[in-house]
Amino acid sequence: MHHPPFGRASLFLLLFLISIGYARYCVHNEKSWCEGHNIWGWCFHNKSSGVFNCDDDSFCISQDQLKNKKSSGCFLRDNSSVCCCNDADGCNLGFISVPPKYAHGQQCVNSMEIPNEDIRLFKPCDDPYCYSVLTAEEDGGPTTVTRGCHSRKMVMHHMSKNEDDKFQNNTKWKETKQIADMPSCSEILKDQPKMNGTTSLCIDFTFDQEPEDGEEVEEPIRMKGRFCCCEGTNKCNEQAMWADEGISLAELLEEIENRKSATSGASEISSLVSAIFTFLVFTF
Ligand SMILES: *[C@@H]1O[C@H](CO)[C@@H](O)[C@H](O)[C@H]1NC(C)=O
Ligand SMILES: *[C@@H]1O[C@H](CO)[C@@H](O)[C@H](O)[C@H]1NC(C)=O
Ligand SMILES: *[C@@H]1O[C@H](CO)[C@@H](O)[C@H](O)[C@H]1NC(C)=O
Ligand SMILES: *[C@@H]1O[C@H](CO)[C@@H](O)[C@H](O)[C@H]1NC(C)=O
């Protein structure tokens, strides 16, 4: 008998090396973004449940009519409209505006306001979450405001970071590092009430302004920032101001920690219950 274990191993290695450089980036409703496989990776959206992900439950990959295709479209299954695409990174955002339109997600204002410059208004974009970021010197002064589509920004951030890690030729991710380091909008809005159709919350933080390249500074400028997420109505990110209600980043992180220990506490109890149950079963 002839066993070619090495041949098979090197085939896998080859496939691995081919695959390593390519990923399919999609929008994820809880994590903001996710990374699937470029060759057989699909982006998924369920218009009934609002789920966006990297085909985590293998719905798209198991559809015969999609086998080995570049494709994009929605199916009606058991009264819910479910959508698959693999034709571009972040392509599942495109399903927000196909019928039933805006069942989940909405249109966000996409703009930049820099002090002493004209407001730059970009094309509005569709996203599960809209955001805005305000920054100013801590003791006051003019505010810089960025508004846009949160999940789309996070997909682009991680794509450019990945390219930069590999080829050292794309520093665009540095512009969005601050919001990429924040908890996801899904986490931020988790316990917020809906008011007038919109759920929103702002998170306050402070940071030191990074000196420009090559610039020598003795004392960095202390800055304040405010990161807001919203969902529900179109342009819900149009208005966020310093005066609106907000919580500090420390408070938010503490709340997220509490949520985690609440759920792990519950699973500890249930494993204790099942341990007791097993014990009883073995005893009798
Ligand atoms: C889509 O969401 C609906 C409502 O939550 C659910 O009943 C259905 O099973 C989901 N479909 C898929 C393919 O995930
Ligand atoms: C689909 O919706 C129709 C009308 O609302 C309902 O009569 C039917 O039972 C639903 N089917 C399923 C599989 O949920
Ligand atoms: C970075 O380099 C890679 C590989 O050479 C290339 O495919 C990609 O387009 C480059 N990206 C930018 C932003 O120049
Ligand atoms: C909700 O809408 C009503 C009417 O437009 C307005 O008076 C009220 O202030 C709004 N409430 C909030 C919390 O935005």
Q: Which residues of the chain have pLDDT under 50?
A: 1, 4, 14-20, 278-279, 281-284
Q: Is the CB of 245 under 6 A from ligand 2?
A: no
Residues with C-beta less than 6 Å from any ligand 1 atom? 46, 48-49, 59, 77, 80, 82
Q: Which atom of ligand 2 is nearest to the CA of 79?
A: 1
**Alpha-carbon gap, residue 133 to 204, rounded angstroms:** 10
The pLDDT value recorded for residue 36 is 87
Q: In the prediction, which pLDDT does 78 show?
A: 84
* Residue 193 Cβ contacting ligand 4 at under 6 Å: no
* CB contact at 8 A, 158 and 23: no
Atom of ligand 4 nearest to the CA of 195: 13
pLDDT at position 165:
94
Round to whole Å and give the CA distance between 194 and 236. 12
How is residue 20 written in tokens?
């390593």
User: For residue 268, what pLDDT is reported?
Assistant: 56
pLDDT of 209 reads 86
Ligand nearest to the CA of 50: 1
What pLDDT, on a 0 to 100 scale, did the predictor assign at position 269? Answer: 53
Say if ligand 2 is within 6 A of residue 216 CB: no
Strands 199-208 and 246-248: parallel
